[in-house]
Amino acid sequence: MRRKLAAGNWKMNGTGAALEALKAIANAHPDPAVDILICPPATLLSRAADTLSGSAVALGGQDCHAEPSGAHTGDISAAMLADAGASAVILGHSERRADHGETDARICAKTRAAIDAGLVAVVCIGETLHQREAGRTLEIVSGQLAGSLPDGITGNEVVVAYEPVWAIGTGKVPTLEQIAEVHEALRAQLLGRYGSETGHAIRLLYGGSVKPANAAEIFAVPNVDGALVGGASLVAADFSPIVKALENA
C-alpha cells in the first residue's frame, strides 16, 4: 500500500516571514495520516528545519546539481540540501525545463545524485498545451519518464509528479478522465520497467492548480497518490484542507 503524499512547492516565494505559514501547517497536522512535504526556497531550508523540528512535516529542495561538489557557481548539491535539513528534492519541474533548458538526461543524472545523497527524488513530467492538443500527451510524458528516471531504483527513492504545463498556475485542470489516463499509463510503464514491487511502490502525484475545492475529486482518481501543490501550499488555510482531503481519500 502506497502512503499518500501531500507536497508543496513554494517556488521562488518566501523570506523569513513565511516560516509562520510553515509553523501553521505543522501545527494543523500533528499526526497526519499522509506524508507531508514542503519544498521552500533553499535559502529557507535550515531555518525551516529548525521551525519544523519535532513535527511531521518533511522538507525538500526544488533542484540540485548532479555533481556532489565543485566549480558550479550558484548551484547546490544534493548533499548540501540534505545537510540543510531536506529529505527530498523536486527535479525536472517544467519551470526548470523551460527556464534552464533542463533535458531528461540532466534530470536523470540529478535524480541519481539525489538518491545517492539519501534524498527522495520528486521527478516532474508533463505536456504543454500544444502537445496535448496535438494528441501527443502520452508520448511526451512516457518519453520524459523513460529519460528522467535512472535504472536500479527502489520504490521509496523516487516519486513521480505528473504536472501538465498548461495546468500550472492557470486554474485550469485536466478532466478526471485525462488525469486517470495519464496516471494509468505511467503506472504501466513503471511496472514494465522496474517490475512489480518497485513499479507498484513508486508514488504518482498530480500537480497543476490543485485547490481545496478540487482536491477530493482528484484524489479519488485511481493511481493518484497525492499532489504537488504550488500556489495553494503557501497559505496554511489553503494547504491544510488539501492535506485533509488526501487523508480522507
Ligand X SMILES: O=C(CO)COP(=O)(O)O
Q: Which residues fall in the annotated binding site?
A: 9-11, 169, 209, 230-231
Under rule CB under 6 A, residue 102 binds ligand X: no
Stretch binding ligand X (CB under 6 A), from 75-83, 129-137, 182-190, 228-236: 228-236
Stretch binding ligand X (CB under 6 A), from 14-22, 26-34, 106-114, 208-216: 208-216
For the segment 59-88, give every residue that binds ligand X (CB under 6 A): none
Nearer to ligand X, 40 or 208 (CB): 208
Distance, CA of 58 to CA of 128 (rounded, Å): 30
Binding-site residues for substrate sit at 9-11, 169, 209, 230-231
Under rule CB under 6 A, residue 160 binds ligand X: no
Residues 6+ apart with CB under 8 A from 90: 7, 9, 39, 60, 61, 62, 63, 122, 124, 161, 228
- Decide if 203 contacts 160 (C-beta within 8 A): yes
158: left (phi over 0), alpha (psi -120 to 50) or beta: beta
Q: Which residues are catalytic?
A: 93, 163
* Binder among 92, 215, 231, 245 for ligand X (CB under 6 A): 231
Residues 141, 143, 149: CA angle, nearest 5 degrees = 95
Nearer to ligand X, 76 or 124 (CB): 124
Residues 6+ apart with CB under 8 A from 116: 78
The contact set with ligand X (CB under 6 A) reads: 9, 93, 163, 168-169, 207-210, 228-232
